[in-house]
């Protein structure tokens, strides 16, 4: 396989899988680990991927890097409505895992003053709750993504794997008509997948604007990974039916 074709295949694989170790990259490309390392080094210098401990992750594109401060005001009333419904699921004493994103930030605002434990990789959620004496707040470690106010990387994933929480509130960039839950920032996908494995119950929070899911390249999970979906009444009915058929409780607000 020509080097250029191999590079494009590698970027495509990383786009679908998130982060991969060197050995797996070499196997997928049918090359030696030394060749895989050289490819990663070249693509890293070109800014097309990011090297991480033992492997690589595709670099987000410029379009995927809208600052958190801009995204937070998009569809704000829809996000607030979804967050209110999510807050109704929370009981005093619950242990919660809050994903990155702006809808989970709206949920965090509604958790102020509540005697709950919140674990998060979301720095905006941390800032919202850090001075609240009622909330037990646990911030996951990792590499800081200042632009989107989150922490990522193998340290974050390792932290999550030590946990078992009652409920995860998961965000996403988009939802496909077949129920595939997507994210557009590849470096966040392994963290989200680790979160799925750490929670007894998964609640997906997505506004109507996330349908039909044309934003996002990497698949996090399908309906089988979700217990409850909270979204707006204007969300695509056919896609909501796919979740219902997958035994997901669908709440529209």
Mean pLDDT score, 69-73: 66
Query: Residue 31, Cβ neighbours under 10 Å: how many?
Result: 17
Query: 38 versus 148: which is more confidently predicted?
Result: 38
* Residue 144: count of CB within 10 angstroms of its CB: 13
pLDDT of residue 252: 97
Give the chain's mean pLDDT.
88
- 199-217 average pLDDT score: 85
C-beta separation of 212 from 248 below 8 A: no
Closest CA to 204 of 155, 246, 171, 243: 171
User: Comparing C-alpha atoms, which of 182, 178, 171 is closest to residue 215?
Assistant: 182
Contact 90, 120 (CB under 8 A): no
Instruction: Give the model's pLDDT for residue 10.
Output: 85
- Both tokens of 74, joined, read 């998009």
Please tell me the predicted confidence (pLDDT) of residue 79. Answer: 94
- Given a cut of 60, whether residue 64 has pLDDT beyond it is no
Q: Which residues pair with 183 in a beta bridge?
A: 218
Q: At what angle do helices 3-17 and 22-29 cross, to 10 degrees?
A: 130
Q: Residue 103: name the closest of 61, 135, 68 by CA.
A: 68
- Give the residue with greater pLDDT, 44 vs 77: 77
What percent of the chain stands above pLDDT 70?
87
State how far the Cα of 31 lies from the Cα of 77, in Å rounded to an integer: 50
Highest mean pLDDT among 9-13, 47-51, 137-141, 170-174: 137-141
Q: How many other β-carbons are positioned within 10 Å of the β-carbon of residue 72?
A: 16
Q: So what's the pLDDT on residue 63?
A: 45
Tell me how far apart the alpha carbons of residues 114 and 240 are, in angstroms, rounded to a whole number. Answer: 31
DSSP structural state of residue 233: T
pLDDT of 103 strictly over 80: yes
Q: What is the pLDDT of residue 219?
A: 84
Which residues are bridge partners to 13 per DSSP?
A: none
Q: Does residue 191 have a cis bond before it (omega within 30 degrees)?
A: no
- For residue 65, is pLDDT > 60? no
**Which of 123, 198, 118, 186 lies closest to 158 in space, CA to CA?**
198
Contact 177, 239 (CB under 8 A): yes
pLDDT reading at 214 higher than 60: no
Sign of CA dihedral 89, 69, 130, 143: positive
pLDDT at 62: 43
Which of 42-51, 61-70, 113-122, 189-198 is predicted with the least confidence, judged by mean pLDDT? 61-70
Q: Which residues contact 141 (CB under 8 A, 6 or more apart)?
A: 151, 155, 156, 159
Q: What is the pLDDT of residue 72?
A: 65
């Amino acid at each position: 396989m020509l080097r250029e074709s191999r590079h494009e295949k590698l970027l495509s694989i990383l786009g679908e899988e998130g982060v991969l170790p060197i050995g797996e990259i070499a196997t997928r490309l049918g090359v030696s680990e030394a060749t895989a390392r050289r490819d990663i080094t070249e693509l890293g210098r070109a800014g097309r991927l990011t090297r991480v401990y033992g492997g690589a992750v595709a670099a987000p594109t410029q379009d995927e890097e809208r600052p958190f401060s801009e995204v937070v005001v998009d569809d704000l009333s829809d996000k607030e409505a979804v967050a209110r419904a999510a807050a109704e699921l929370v009981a005093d004493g619950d242990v919660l895992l809050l994903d990155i994103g702006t809808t989970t930030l709206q949920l965090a605002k509604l958790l102020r003053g509540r005697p709950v434990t919140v674990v998060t990789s979301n720095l905006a959620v941390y800032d919202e709750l850090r001075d609240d004496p009622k909330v037990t707040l646990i911030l996951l470690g990792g590499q800081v993504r200042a632009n989107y106010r989150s922490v990522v990387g193998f340290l974050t994933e390792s932290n999550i794997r030590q946990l078992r929480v009652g409920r995860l509130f998961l965000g996403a960039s988009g939802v496909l008509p077949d129920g595939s839950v997507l994210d557009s920032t590849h470096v966040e996908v392994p963290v989200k997948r680790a979160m799925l494995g750490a929670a007894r119950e998964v609640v997906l929070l997505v506004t109507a604007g996330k349908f039909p899911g044309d934003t996002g390249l990497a698949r996090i999970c399908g309906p089988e990974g979700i217990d409850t979906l909270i979204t707006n009444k204007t969300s695509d009915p056919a896609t909501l039916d796919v979740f219902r058929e997958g035994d997901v409780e669908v709440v529209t607000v």
